[in-house]
Chain A
Amino acid sequence: MKQTDDFADLYQEVILDHGRRPRHGQRLETFDATAKGDNPMCGDRVQVWVKLKDKTIGAVGFEARGCAISIASADLMAEAVKGRGPGDTKALFEAFRSMARTGTCPDCGPALEAPLERLAPLSGVTNIHPA
């Protein structure tokens, strides 16, 4: 990546990487749940599939169209929720939403520190899409 400061604060290496080569960017042939998201304002679309294993998320796949940040978000989310139970996933979702909207997560406990750190590069979007 070229070091271009006014670009790199938003498009960090991890976003470029996962935006270009998503690890989970495919539909699951067998799955327990699926959901679609659609942003008519910008035209982004995503569908996510989940396969459960022993009451935790065993596999995640998605198909999306959108910008690098959008694709990387889906991929990093898939990575972050894999292996988590439903309650745990929900807590992470709330914590991430707070971080993405405000840049901080005052109520996040130590258990969420590691996954949130991984998702931290996405917190820059608060600068382009303010809450």
Chain B
Amino acid sequence: MNDTLTLPFDVTRIRQDFPILSQTIRGKPLVFLDSAASAQKPRVVIDAMVNAMETQYANVHRGLHWMSERTTEAYEACRDAAAALMNARDRSEIVFTGNVTGSLNLMAHSFGRRMMKSGQAVVISGMEHHSNIVPWQLLRDSHGIELRVAPITNSGELDMAAFEDLLRDGKVGLVAMTHMSNVLGTVTPAERIVRLAHEYGAKVMFDGAQAIVHRKVDVQALDCDFYAWTGHKLYGPTGIGVLWGRKELLEQMPPFMGGGDMISSVTYEKSTWAQVPHKFEAGTPAILEGIGLKAAIDYVQSIGYDAMAAHEAALTEHALSRLSTIKGLAIIGQAQDRGGVISFAMDGAHAHDVATLLDRQGIAVRAGHHCAEPLMHRLNLDSTARASFGVYTTHEEVDALATGLERVRSFFK
């Protein structure tokens, strides 16, 4: 990234980059506070995908013709952009998957089934998304891998002492943990987690679906072994996710899915695999989505993580201060280190009622268990409403949320 191109952060200008944000909903300006579920797309991402379809599209990695070569270049440029974004040592450490769920299933199948032995354990935390629970349960049930859950404290942070206790017997092969909770907004202490896990001989994978949207992820500084994130939460298209892994580990791991594009040679007797990362990328990839994600990464880099993080930290602080004055509203999760995701519960009103009545005012929030039922059980809740912020979110939108919640409260009083 060329630093001289970075303009001062101006949310009004940024909002102009997102065509969808100028809409009205039910006659009211759209207040979109559901970016943690999926973020809106800037014009550059839309244009990159449309432009590819209009001018430069063919299948990749196989055609000996101009169109295929140009499309391959455009698609593979996403791998370079993703490697730079995460400070990966080598572009071949970037594996494209469908989403974080796809990456976690790849890990459970390829790392879990082949690099771990029956009797070993996987450690997750008590605030995981279902996608970082269920693949390990399937692995546990088919391969005798134990699943251990590191508890969270009442403030919604990882209980580090209990986490270390789970590592002590040396049986843990992999720690697979969220880098930022999609429910509580908690950012986990990634460097400390890695240091501890490595001390006890375990590899570490982070589910960075939320974290990479809000802060710079440097996999070399973190010193983790795998890191997964998804394009559509980082202002890119759906259908493309990134699994970064240390090259020496990816090279030892067997393929997950078999098919075209992942082989070196095939006979009926025996097939051999392509080099990493292609060994893990069977079938025609998400070509247009890769081109779109490249544009999204460039967009994020042009704004810069420092500016994005500062904007979102200010928004989060403002929101916490506004919401904490609303009577009968409990903010769920009080982590010291947190990102722009805030869950709340209102006395006397179910989260769905809250979300429905906010929607009537043009305010989009999510309500439900957020694909984290075990965490809901831990919190003694069956659902929360959740507001989440993006690079385009304004202080006025946070104020609209607070005013909207006051209206909901007086309606249910």
A contacts, CB < 8 Å to B:
1-2, 4, 6-7, 10-11, 16, 19-20, 41-43, 65-70, 128
Contacts and interface: CB of A to CB of B under 8 A. Distances in A.
Contacts of B348: 20
Given A43-B369, A43-B382, A128-B356, A2 B411 contact: yes
B181 interface: no
B360 A69 contact: no
Interface of B: 26, 348-353, 356-357, 359-361, 367-369, 382-383, 407, 410-413
B357 A7 contact: yes
B349 A68 contact: yes
B382 A4 contact: no
A20 B353 CA distance: 12
B410 A2 contact: yes
Give me the 5 closest cross-chain CB pairs, A-B, nearest first.
A67-B352, A67-B350, A67-B353, A6-B360, A68-B353
A43 B368 contact: yes
B410 A69 contact: no
24 contacts: A1-B411, A2-B410, A2-B411, A4-B407, A6-B360, A7-B357, A7-B360, A7-B411, A10-B356, A11-B353, A19-B353, A20-B348, A42-B352, A43-B369, A43-B382, A65-B382, A66-B350, A67-B353, A68-B353, A68-B412, A69-B356, A70-B350, A70-B352, A128-B359
A10 B382 contact: no
Contacts of A11: 353, 357, 411
Contacts of A42: 352, 367-368
Contacts of B356: 10, 67, 69, 128
A102 to B, nearest CB: 20
A101 B382 CA distance: 26
A19 B352 CA distance: 13
A13 to B, nearest CB: 12
A31 B382 CA distance: 27
B351 to A, nearest CB: 8
B361 A6 contact: yes
A92 B407 CA distance: 36
Nearest to A68: B353
B125 to A, nearest CB: 21
A19 B369 CA distance: 20
